Structure 1
Amino acid sequence: MMEKIECKNLHKEFKGDGTSTVALNNINLSFQKGEFTAIIGPSGSGKSTLLSLIGTLDKPSNGTLTYDREEILKKGKNKIADFRFKEIGFIFQQFHLLPTLTALENVLTPLFARKVPYTKIERAKEVLKQVGLTDKLDSLPSQLSGGQQQRVAIARAIVHKPSWLLADEPTGNLDTETGERIYELLKELNELEGCGVLFVTHDPVLAAKASRIITMKDGVVLSDKEGVSS
């Protein structure tokens, strides 16, 4: 299990049509497994880009990303993908559930064709129970509310027991009350599973409940401080 993430001079620049846009400008941050970190800032501040790089979905233009001092992005595509599967769980604002699969089948998808040291179906049922959906195993996404669909997405993200849970605006499409319940569920999973959580949000009220709050603007870190739950 990976215990620490370090971003050193992490820089990301997008180029096209003769122009270039700096999304991240020499970011230096570190994260410890077990932390619950909120990343806030206006649109275009670099929050999602940072999360994408940390999750190995993209590579930086410059700088290094290390997990326990190992530069993961220097490995080949297959090894990066294997690392991502073992260590990282993703939750997105758009739930990305497969519409023709049941809740149970959606949660099972990360485990298909993978050898894991536990019974796949029992593990999927276990995490659906954790998120309060024991009675929705056979329901299709179209039969679930937005909050229920997001809980299925969360169960899918943790079914393989990742070290890190990366959430990009997971409450953005939900009403305030449901969004707060999803946030509390993430905190509960953080405490029970021991995984590190990096949570991108525009909502300062939700961010204030985190143990650590990172504020970004124009690709740089403006502040990095403890939250109320630290």
Structure 2
Amino acid sequence: MNKSIEFRDIDKVFKGDGIETYALKKINLLLNEGDFVSIIGPSGSGKSTLLSIIGTLDVPSSGEILYGDKTVHQMSNNEIADFRFENIGFIFQQFHLIPTMTALENVMSPLFGRKVTYNKKERAIQVLEQVGLKDKMNSLPSQLSGGQQQRVAIARALVHKPKWLLADEPTGNLDTDTGETVYELLTSLNKSKQCGVILVTHDSILADRANTKVEMRDGEIVSVCQRQPV
């Protein structure tokens, strides 16, 4: 299946007290398979709303999104959940690790209750090794630094080999050096695993390093800049 993502005239409207607020307005965008995309803009510009819709956590008010030839938001809830599991990994600013679980257990958590063709523990150890934390697999989140916790979160997102990694301000709670390490890890995974990355960030320096930079303001895309991968 073609793993590109295409937006066609996407609107997202929130309604309350008789007032309509447009979070997204007429979004038309094509994200190519395996691309590294940054989405940048001020607070309230629609970045996180767009990421939630890309990740099938929310649905547009109008328009359509195509993943290859699939119109995902027209599927049933169970079909969307299965599609999300097969295709999308999420990385959040706040890590969202389960404090009573080890790093290994946190990485395995998306696989709980799922039938897969591989050994779940072996796969979780493999991705922890990819992010440089195999020696920390029995550690609790409280025993890890912020950067290590974010790398566990990245490993969790990778565990089922998604086609796209969606990262919402993944360096926002990290110091500059640790944030750079996390960014370089995402870049490496993008190149070595052919996994598309969509990075929401306020950091213009990081945004400028992406292959495709999408700038948003007031719910609209104001520019799309592309450069050749390095």
* TM-score higher than 0.5: yes
Between the aligned partners of 2:215 and 2:225, the Cα distance in structure 1 is: 9
Q: Structure 1 stretches (4+) deviating beyond 3 angstroms?
A: 227-230
**The residue matched to 1:189 in structure 2 has which SS?**
helix
Corresponding residue number in structure 2 for 1:53: 53
**The residue matched to 1:99 in structure 2 has which SS?**
coil
Between the aligned partners of 2:86 and 2:228, the Cα distance in structure 1 is: 31
Corresponding residue number in structure 2 for 1:175: 175
Query: 1:163 corresponds to which letter in structure 2?
Result: K
**The residue matched to 1:8 in structure 2 has which SS?**
strand
Shift of 1:17: 2.2
Gaps of 5+ in 1: none
Between the aligned partners of 1:15 and 1:87, the Cα distance in structure 2 is: 30
Shift of 1:113: 1.5
Length, aligned pairs only: 230
CA RMSD of aligned residues (A): 1.1
The answer to whether the 8 Å contact 2:2/2:69 transfers is no
Between the aligned partners of 1:12 and 1:72, the Cα distance in structure 2 is: 16
The answer to whether the 8 Å contact 1:5/1:68 transfers is yes
The answer to whether the 8 Å contact 1:166/1:197 transfers is yes
Between the aligned partners of 1:213 and 1:227, the Cα distance in structure 2 is: 9
Gaps of 5+ in 2: none
**The residue matched to 2:149 in structure 1 has which SS?**
helix
After superposition, give the CA deviation of every residue in 1:159-199 in whole Å (9 maximum; x if it has no partner): 00000111111111111111111011001011111111110
Corresponding residue number in structure 2 for 1:194: 194
TM-score relative to the length of structure 1: 0.97
Shift of 1:118: 1.2
Between the aligned partners of 2:27 and 2:13, the Cα distance in structure 1 is: 13
Shift of 1:228: 6.4
Query: 1:186 corresponds to which letter in structure 2?
Result: L
Shift of 1:115: 1.4
Corresponding residue number in structure 2 for 1:77: 77
Query: 1:192 corresponds to which letter in structure 2?
Result: S
